């Protein structure tokens, strides 16, 4: 099977699987909603019928003169139910959709509960007209139970309601499938176009041929792409440079290749001394793509040397990893902020229940009233909740204030600064007795942020490195919070300082 067909087939299979899962999930949701709706309807109907004075009076008399049957027959025509059965305290029917069963005992056995305990409930059972879901409700006359009402819907009608709703979704499911097939076809064609219409076997053959040609030339060949990554390093180049891997290339060669990449200029017959014993004669040229743009640079050189290679690492993996760690640390702060905002703006009752269960909760809400930025409010509340879970006393100092809009610093930068300082205090206090921390924020001429904790003092030898990238005293992938804070403050012209003793205090001024 061709690659394009494989891609299209696989994509269609995935789409069908997703549609199947979603359809099953939707069916379950619909079924649950139909069940809940019908059960509530049955209970409401049963209780409403049970409160009808006619039924109360007739059951109290204990004489069946078919008044209840006449009433329920008329009522049944107006209700979305299959039957209404009224019974006395002995379980004898006073009404039934099939008249010949009036005066006979109720069948199924699920009527005992309503007669014995006077409860209203839902039950399923097999009756004279079929298997049904039914609701029972007691009938009272002047506070004394005189019977019960059973209202039911046949299970077949119950299922049909859910099925009919699902039938309405079929056109949408079909449309989603058609769109998916079209998307799979477009994706398949795009991939084929990207690889010049070649099949996997053809691509493998081209790669093998290319490698054979490059490795059998008498010149050393090195090529780089637009990112500066080495894409070609043949056997002769390794032999001349006495290297085994493309990570070890003389800097002079790489710099010249990058220069060609940037300027587009080409150099021929250039003599380059790589070391005391290694001199090469080289030619540098740009590699152009189909559209005439430069997509890389190539050097071919001659001569050989027995001197060991000297080169700098080309990859920037560590730098990339550091950046990703820093972003992850900041992202976690934003997640806490989102959690706080959801609690603050969407779930007031839940927020009141969580934070106002104690006297401190009321003080927290009161302390935050003058912080007009709801994002900062949300962050502090989230960190407060996190501290409470760790059994740390978190004090929000009186007099905190912050305007909703500021010229000096944006909300996201403040979130990063405050979030990191609070997180560090929480981490320091996790294993300490009598744990306590506090925060104070004020905005006058400057924005002042103060975070205090009674954790272990910061040692002098540690303090000098606290703002270095990747520095941490903890285990794991840490050491980027204070670095991020310092970077932000430097860009804003702000400053951060700390004092440490019995109380460690961090102070930020912007």
Question: CB within 8 A of 367, min separation 6: which ones?
Answer: 396, 397, 398, 400
The model's confidence at residue 43, banded by pLDDT at 50, 70 and 90, is: very high
> What number does CATH give the domain 319-509?
3.30.565.10
Check if the beta carbon of residue 198 is closer than 8 Å to that of residue 41: no
Check if the beta carbon of residue 221 is closer than 8 Å to that of residue 234: yes
d(CA 390, CA 387) in angstroms, rounded, equals 5
Residue tagged 């008249």 (tokens): 99
Check if the beta carbon of residue 231 is closer than 8 Å to that of residue 223: yes
The pLDDT assigned to 441 comes to 94
Least confident segment among 240-254, 265-279, 363-377, 466-480: 466-480
Q: Tell me phi and psi for residue 228, to 5 degrees.
A: 85, 10
d(CA 332, CA 422) in angstroms, rounded, equals 13
The model's confidence at residue 466, banded by pLDDT at 50, 70 and 90, is: confident
For the chain, give the mean pLDDT.
78
The partner residues of 499 in beta bridges, in order of sequence, read 505
Check if the beta carbon of residue 150 is closer than 8 Å to that of residue 84: yes
* pLDDT over 70 percentage in the chain: 79
The pLDDT assigned to 475 comes to 55
Name the token pair of 55: 């039924």
Domain with CATH 3.30.565.10 in the chain: 319-509
Least confident segment among 91-105, 324-338, 375-389: 324-338
Nearest alpha-carbon partner for 430 in 452, 450, 453, 451 = 453
Q: What is the pLDDT of residues 163-182, one digit of tens each?
A: 777 777 778 777 877 887 78
d(CA 246, CA 238) in angstroms, rounded, equals 8
Name the token pair of 271: 């003599």
Within 10 A of 387 (CB to CB), how many other CB atoms are there?
A: 21
Q: What is the pLDDT of residues 74-129, one digit of tens each?
A: 888 888 888 999 999 999 999 998 888 899 998 888 889 999 999 999 998 887 88
Question: Could you say which DSSP state residue 100 is in?
Answer: G
Nearest alpha-carbon partner for 373 in 337, 329, 339, 398 = 337
Check if the beta carbon of residue 447 is closer than 8 Å to that of residue 404: no
Q: Is pLDDT of 321 > 50?
A: no
Q: Tell me phi and psi for residue 288, to 5 degrees.
A: -105, 145
User: Nearest 5 degrees, angle CA 409-CA 411-CA 357?
Assistant: 135
The pLDDT assigned to 24 comes to 79
Distances (CA, A) of 231 to 81, 87, 325, 327: 75, 88, 28, 30
Q: Which helix (H) or strand (E) element contains residue 159?
A: helix 155-194
The model's confidence at residue 450, banded by pLDDT at 50, 70 and 90, is: very high
> What number does CATH give the domain 1-197?
3.30.450.20
The pLDDT assigned to 340 comes to 58
Check if the beta carbon of residue 360 is closer than 8 Å to that of residue 332: no
Q: What is the pLDDT of residues 152-168, one digit of tens each?
A: 988 887 677 667 777 77
The pLDDT assigned to 175 comes to 80
Rg (CA), the chain: 39
> What does the CA dihedral 472, 477, 478, 484 come to, rounded to 10 degrees?
130
Q: Is pLDDT of 481 > 90?
A: no
> What number does CATH give the domain 201-313?
3.30.450.20
For residue 470, the SS3 value is coil
d(CA 356, CA 368) in angstroms, rounded, equals 14
| 308 HSE (CA, 13 A, CB side) | 0
Name the token pair of 169: 């979704």
Q: Is pLDDT of 354 > 70?
A: no
d(CA 447, CA 439) in angstroms, rounded, equals 13
The pLDDT assigned to 408 comes to 76
Domain with CATH 3.30.450.20 in the chain: 1-197, 201-313
Name the token pair of 171: 């056109």
């Amino acid at each position: 099977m061709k690659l394009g067909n494989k891609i299209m087939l696989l994509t269609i299979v995935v789409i069908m699987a997703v549609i199947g899962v979603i359809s099953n999930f939707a069916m379950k949701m619909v079924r649950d909603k139909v069940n809940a709706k019908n059960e509530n309807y049955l209970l409401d109907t049963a209780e409403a019928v049970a409160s009808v004075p006619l039924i109360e009076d007739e059951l109290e008399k204990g004489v069946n003169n078919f008044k209840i049957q006449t009433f329920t027959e008329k009522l049944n025509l107006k209700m979305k139910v299959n039957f209404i059965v009224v019974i006395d305290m002995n379980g004898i029917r006073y009404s039934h959709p099939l008249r010949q069963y009036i005066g006979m005992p109720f069948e199924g056995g699920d009527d005992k509960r309503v007669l014995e305990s006077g409860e209203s409930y839902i039950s399923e059972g097999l009756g004279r007209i079929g298997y049904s879901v039914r609701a029972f409700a007691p009938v009272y006359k002047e506070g004394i139970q005189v019977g019960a009402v059973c209202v039911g819907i046949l299970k077949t009608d119950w299922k049909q309601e859910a099925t009919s709703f699902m039938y309405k979704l079929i056109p949408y499911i079909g449309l989603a499938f058609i769109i998916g097939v079209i998307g799979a076809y477009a994706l398949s064609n795009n991939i084929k176009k990207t690889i010049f219409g070649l099949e996997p076997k053809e691509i493998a053959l081209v790669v093998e041929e290319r490698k054979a040609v490059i490795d059998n030339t008498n010149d050393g060949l090195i090529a780089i792409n637009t990112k500066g990554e080495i894409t070609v390093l043949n056997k002769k180049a390794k032999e001349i440079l006495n290297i085994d891997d493309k990570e070890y290339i003389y800097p002079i060669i790489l710099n010249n290749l990058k220069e060609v990449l940037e300027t587009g200029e080409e150099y021929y017959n250039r003599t380059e001394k790589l070391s005391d014993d290694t001199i090469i004669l080289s030619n540098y040229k740009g590699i152009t793509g189909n559209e005439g743009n430069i997509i890389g640079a190539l050097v071919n050189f001659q001569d050989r040397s027995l001197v060991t290679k000297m080169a700098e690492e080309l990859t920037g993996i560590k730098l990339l990893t550091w950046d990703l760690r820093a972003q992850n640390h900041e992202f976690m702060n934003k997640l806490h902020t989102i959690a706080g905002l959801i609690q603050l703006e969407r779930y007031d009752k839940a927020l009141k229940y969580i934070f106002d269960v104690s006297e401190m909760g009321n003080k927290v809400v009161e302390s935050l009233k003058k912080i007009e930025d709801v994002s900062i409010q949300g962050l502090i509340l989230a960190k407060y909740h996190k501290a409470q879970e760790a059994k740390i006393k978190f004090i929000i100092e009186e007099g905190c204030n912050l305007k909703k809009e500021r010229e000096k610093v944006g909300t996201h930068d403040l979130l990063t600064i405050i979030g990191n300082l609070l997180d560090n205090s929480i981490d320091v206090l996790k294993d300490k007795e009598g744990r306590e921390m506090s925060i104070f924020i004020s905005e006058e001429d400057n924005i002042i942020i103060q975070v205090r904790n009674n954790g272990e003092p910061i040692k002098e030898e540690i303090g000098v490195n606290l703002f270095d990238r990747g520095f941490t005293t903890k285990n794991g992938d840490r050491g980027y919070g204070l670095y991020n804070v310092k970077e932000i403050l430097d860009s804003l012209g702000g400053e951060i300082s700390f004092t440490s003793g019995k109380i460690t205090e961090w102070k930020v001024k912007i």
